[in-house]
């Protein structure tokens, strides 16, 4: 099985409660979008306000660039539809930064999946510490 770790960045999507709702919605939409494409499988997913890490299986019939264009494009459209303030904030409707990072993995898959889970826990701990200072 050829597994890819994919990372792409967004511009800062705001703060507070609305940011948390939009991140939760983005996470849900990524799973829905991947289920709409035949054989795409999300193995790990980490969504933060300025970047997204996905460990996923992409079958050979799809190019990585076509999957990324599909995910970034459809997800941005859905976010702009659901959260109208994003359209006002991102003039020209450019939500995502240009480009993405991809690494094909094989034997190190378990280690990379563990890292994505660790990173999510680590960032939540940092966020909790910062909130406790307020």
Structure confidence at residue 91 (pLDDT): 62
* pTM: predicted TM-score of the whole model, two decimal places: 0.69
87-125 pLDDT, tens digit each: 666 666 677 777 777 777 665 677 777 777 887 787 778
pLDDT in tens, 44-77: 888 877 778 888 888 888 988 899 889 988 988 8
1/46: higher pLDDT: 46
Domains of the chain: 3-133 (3.30.70.1290)
Active-site amino acid positions: 115
- pLDDT greater at residue 134 or residue 17: 134
Per residue, the 3-state secondary structure of the chain, as one string, reads: CCEEEEEEEECCCCCHHHHHHHHHHHHHHHHHHHHHCCCCEEEEEEECCCEEEEEEECCCCCCHHHHHHHHHHHHHHHHHHHCHHHHHHCHHHCCECCCCEEEEECCCHHHHHHHHHHHHHHHHHHHHHHHHHC
């Amino acid at each position: 099985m050829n597994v890819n770790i994919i990372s792409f960045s967004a511009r800062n999507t705001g703060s507070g409660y609305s940011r948390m709702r939009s991140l939760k919605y983005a996470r849900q939409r990524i799973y829905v979008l991947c289920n709409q494409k035949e054989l795409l499988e999300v193995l790990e997913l980490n969504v933060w306000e300025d970047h997204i890490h996905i460990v996923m299986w992409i079958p050979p019939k799809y190019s990585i660039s076509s999957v990324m264009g599909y995910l970034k494009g459809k997800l941005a459209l859905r976010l702009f539809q659901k959260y109208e303030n994003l359209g006002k904030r991102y003039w020209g409707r450019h939500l995502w930064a240009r480009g993405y990072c991809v690494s094909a993995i094989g034997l190190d898959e378990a280690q990379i999946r563990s890292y994505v889970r660790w990173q999510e826990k680590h960032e939540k701990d940092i966020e909790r510490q910062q909130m406790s200072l307020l």
